[in-house]
């Protein structure tokens, strides 16, 4: 199951805000419920009846697809995908009427909620049972491709979703892709997640099996089944578990997904339920922040996975170099040109000391780490005009084929700012 918006992170942030003196700054919140009253023109929608603004560039995803990137590739506004044609097996437009897991910021003066992250799904329907019928003549076993395809779990037909807004992941065993056309899966334990359609089928996001013939049988592979990180007391408490095959023993190396920094290693032992597979569990406390992605290396194989991050105590901003006040960064422009596959980020810097920085660092995608810096991928630097105190960063055409979503700009003197990209 894909990690979703981290509700607990936002509840932790709310507790932090409530412990601070009352100031006119946005308060983080969270909405989980049916999405209704979507208005593409005003860029608003309601969740549980709460009116919510949706600014351009807000990260929007389904359980398996980055809807911002899909919209950029199609040259359309992501909101048109949310409220477009009905998804297979549904009669309402797009994701309307489905569930929105929405992180928001609330203006304490007006009570207006503004979305900062949205994950959408028509419904969260799960079947945990055994395979009761198995006859697959094509790899995806989609009955819409060939009516001879039939894979039932607990008697319900599994119907892979071809819609580009919510495509199905391949069926897996311990995170490894299974060839559904081979072997006999009848009686095998299975778990299907998707949404129950009007035709009585389960329209799949994911299907996990405890058996089946692997597509890459005999080839070394490693998977990530769960990755979590809890940030507190200046430490990242990491928990990553997964599996291997060919071989089923050895050692994995775990790295941060943003910088590639090695977090540590963990032994791989043969899975007692099926010794053909190996299992590993990595637990470690590492100085610093958590990351949104993690990489696991095993011999010649590597896997990357999303991390479920919980931040218990956002780090206090460190003093800038020299002990002086930090610079103030303002991002005036963050634009993504879908037709050219390039970005432009520009803005100003207000020096905290007597001398402005020579340049600022631009991270894409990037996140303000709350400590006067940025995390993410360093795209380059932008020279600061010593008189005008402005800067302008432009990528080459083709560097960004899809909308990277966010950018963060940091000064070497301390001070940072984050912005979503708008799409031209």
Give the C-alpha separation, 181 to 376, whole Å. Answer: 40
Query: Do the Cβ atoms of 79 and 54 come closer than 8 Å?
Result: yes
CATH code of residue 396: 2.60.40
189 and 241 together in one domain: no
pTM exceeding the 0.75 threshold for the entire prediction = no
Token pair for 239: 């928990």
Average pLDDT of the residues in 38-54:
93
Phi-psi domain of 354 (left: phi exceeds 0; alpha: psi -120 through 50; beta: other): alpha
Instruction: Domain of residue 192: give its range.
Output: 125-209
278 pLDDT band (50/70/90 cuts)?
very high
144 and 157 together in one domain: yes
In this prediction, residue 424 carries a pLDDT of 78
28 pLDDT band (50/70/90 cuts)?
confident
Q: How many domains does the chain have?
A: 4
Q: Is 216 inside any structural domain?
A: no
84 and 101 together in one domain: yes
107 and 28 together in one domain: yes
Give the C-alpha separation, 336 to 68, whole Å. Answer: 11
Give the C-alpha separation, 260 to 377, whole Å. Answer: 11
311, 346, 381 - which closes a domain = 311
Average pLDDT of the residues in 383-390:
88
Average pLDDT of the residues in 99-108:
90
For every residue of 299-323, DSSP letters joined together read: TTEEEEEE-EEEESSPPPPPPPGGG
Kindly report the average pLDDT of the chain as a whole number: 88
Separation in Å, CA 124 to CA 164, 228, 385: 18, 21, 51
Q: Bridge-partner residues for 222, per DSSP?
A: 244
In this prediction, residue 214 carries a pLDDT of 96
320 pLDDT band (50/70/90 cuts)?
low
């Amino acid at each position: 199951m894909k990690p979703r918006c981290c509700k607990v992170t936002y509840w932790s942030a709310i507790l932090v805000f409530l412990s601070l003196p009352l100031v006119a700054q946005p308060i983080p919140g969270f909405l989980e419920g049916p999405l209704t009253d979507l208005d593409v023109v005003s860029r608003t929608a309601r969740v549980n009846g709460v009116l919510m603004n949706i600014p351009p560039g807000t990260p929007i995803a389904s359980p398996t697809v980055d809807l911002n990137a899909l919209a950029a590739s199609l040259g359309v506004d992501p909101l048109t995908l949310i409220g477009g044609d009905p998804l297979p097996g549904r009669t309402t437009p797009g994701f309307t009427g489905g569930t929105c897991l929405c992180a928001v910021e609330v203006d304490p003066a007006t009570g207006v909620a503004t979305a900062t992250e949205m994950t959408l799904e028509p419904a969260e329907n799960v079947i945990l049972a055994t395979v009761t019928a198995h006859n697959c003549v094509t790899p995806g076993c989609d009955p819409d491709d060939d009516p001879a395809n039939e894979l039932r779990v607990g008697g319900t037909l599994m119907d892979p979703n071809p819609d580009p807004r919510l495509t199905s992941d391949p069926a897996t065993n311990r995170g490894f892709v299974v060839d559904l056309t081979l072997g006999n899966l009848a009686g095998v334990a299975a778990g299907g997640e998707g949404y129950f359609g009007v035709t009585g089928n389960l329209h799949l996001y994911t299907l996990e099996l405890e058996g089946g013939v692997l597509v890459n049988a005999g080839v070394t592979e490693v998977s990530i089944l769960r990755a979590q990180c809890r940030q507190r007391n200046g430490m990242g408490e990491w928990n990553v578990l997964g599996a291997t095959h060919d071989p089923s023993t050895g050692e994995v190396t775990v790295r941060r997904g943003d910088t590639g920094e090695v977090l540590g290693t963990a032994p791989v032992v043969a899975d007692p339920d099926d010794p053909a597979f190996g299992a590993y569990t990595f637990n470690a406390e590492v100085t610093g922040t958590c990351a949104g992605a993690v990489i696991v290396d095993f011999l010649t194989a590597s896997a990357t996975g999303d991390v479920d991050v919980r931040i218990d105590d956002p780090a206090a901003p460190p003093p800038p170099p020299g002990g002086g006040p930090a610079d103030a960064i303002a991002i005036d422009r963050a634009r993504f040109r879908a037709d050219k596959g390039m970005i432009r980020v520009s803005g100003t810097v207000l020096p905290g000391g007597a001398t402005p920085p020579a340049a600022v660092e631009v991270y894409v995608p990037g996140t303000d780490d709350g400590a006067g810096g940025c995390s993410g991928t360093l795209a380059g630097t932008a020279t600061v005009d010593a008189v005008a105190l402005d800067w302008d960063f432009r990528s080459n055409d083709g560097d960004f084929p899809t909308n990277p979503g966010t950018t963060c700009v940091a000064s070497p003197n301390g001070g940072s700012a984050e912005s979503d990209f708008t799409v031209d």
